[in-house]
Amino acid sequence: MKLHYGFDELKDFDFMALMPMLLPFIAIGTLLVLIALIDVFRHRATRKNVLVWTCLIFFVPTLGPILYFVLGRKDDVKI
């Protein structure tokens, strides 16, 4: 009985079989990041904490853009 499974078992695994299932998630995540970054930099004069939002969008790929669209799009009125 083998109690420990190592990386040797991964050499027989077909990662390309998972690609059709993972590709939509990767595409949607990438699209969310791009749209959020475009919005941040297009409206950087009226947004607060542009650097913080940019880092959050980059380093928390799926949750970062969603948080930005829900919480970070509040405009700061400049007179």
Model pTM above 0.85:
no
The CA distance from 74 to 52, in Å, is 15
The CA distance from 38 to 79, in Å, is 24
Per residue in 48-75, pLDDT (tens digit) is 889 999 999 999 988 999 999 998 877 6
Go through the chain and tell me how many residues it has: 79
User: What is residue 38's DSSP assignment?
Assistant: H
Using alpha carbons, list the distances in angstroms from residue 13 to 8, 18, 24, 25: 10, 10, 21, 21
The CA distance from 25 to 65, in Å, is 14
Mean pLDDT of the chain: 85
Say which residue the tokens 């650097």 belong to. Answer: 51
